[in-house]
Amino acid sequence: MLLDSLTLLMQPHGAEVRRMFGGTCFMLNGNLVIGTHRTTGLIVRVGPEGTAQALAMGARQMTMGEQVMKGWVLVEAPSDLAPWIDLALAFNRTLPPDAAKRGKRRT
């Protein structure tokens, strides 16, 4: 099962698990990294710079209604999660920690 495999692969990174987008997402430093999507399979946050690479790997652009979600892609039934996790973690490392999303107040 996708969620079980994703959980196993994200645990060593210390990811927090949250229910979002009708699925289960994994957060690092308060930022969403990767997760399951209720209808598609996998949601991956790759950032604007990683989008072309993700599309070339077989993903499709994520949309919410009519709006294109820049830097986010969807992957249907990936056979290998490792490249998607690597791409998502690479973008996550460029982001500052988001204290608000971790439930802490900024001072």
Enter the tokens of residue 85.
Answer: 């996790």
Enter the tokens of residue 1.
Answer: 């099962």
pTM: 0.86
Residue-level pLDDT at 72: 96
Residue 62, domain extent: 2-92
107 within some domain = no
Contact assessment for residue 19 and residue 37, using Cβ atoms and an 8 Å cutoff: no
Enter the tokens of residue 20.
Answer: 């979002």
- Give CA–CA dist 95/86, Å, rounded: 15
- Per-residue pLDDT band for 14 (boundaries 50, 70, 90) equals very high
Q: Quick one: which H or E segment has residue 24? A: strand 23-28
Residue-level pLDDT at 48: 95
Residue-level pLDDT at 55: 97
Give residue-wise pLDDT tens across range 49-79: 999 999 999 999 998 889 999 999 999 988 8
45 within some domain = yes
List of residues 6+ apart from 82 with CB closer than 8 A: 9
Q: Per-residue pLDDT for 1 more than 50?
A: yes
Which CATH number belongs to the domain containing residue 87 in this structure?
3.90.1150
